[in-house]
Amino acid sequence: MNNSREMAATIVAAVIGGVAGYLFFTERGRSVRRQIGPALEDFSRELMSFRNTAQKAAGLANEGWKLLNDTLGEGGKPPARSPSG
């Protein structure tokens, strides 16, 4: 394994451990957690709302393309041709 990758992973783990220790074992950290909790819940609700909106938009776009393809005769069926004599 690359030595610099191991060093980077060790530093990231130490930072995460330090933040977790601060948030769980200090009074100020507990206060920060209490403030972050509602904000994270609001953020989660907003993400879910955005996801639902994006899914609806994708569904509408899909229906629009399907309607356009059906109208232009490209919906899997060959377009009707007039007999040539």
Give 75's pLDDT tier (boundaries 50, 70, 90): low
pTM value is: 0.49
Q: What are the start-end ranges of the H helices in the chain? A: 3-25, 27-72
Look at the block and give the residue holding tokens 């330090």: 18
Domain-by-domain residue ranges, the chain? 3-72
pLDDT digits (tens, 9 = 90+) for 6-63: 999 999 999 999 999 999 999 999 999 999 999 999 999 999 999 999 999 999 999 9
Q: Are 71 and 63 in contact (CB under 8 A)?
A: no
Predicted pLDDT of residue 66: 93
Give 82's pLDDT tier (boundaries 50, 70, 90): low
Structure token digits, residue 25: 């074992």
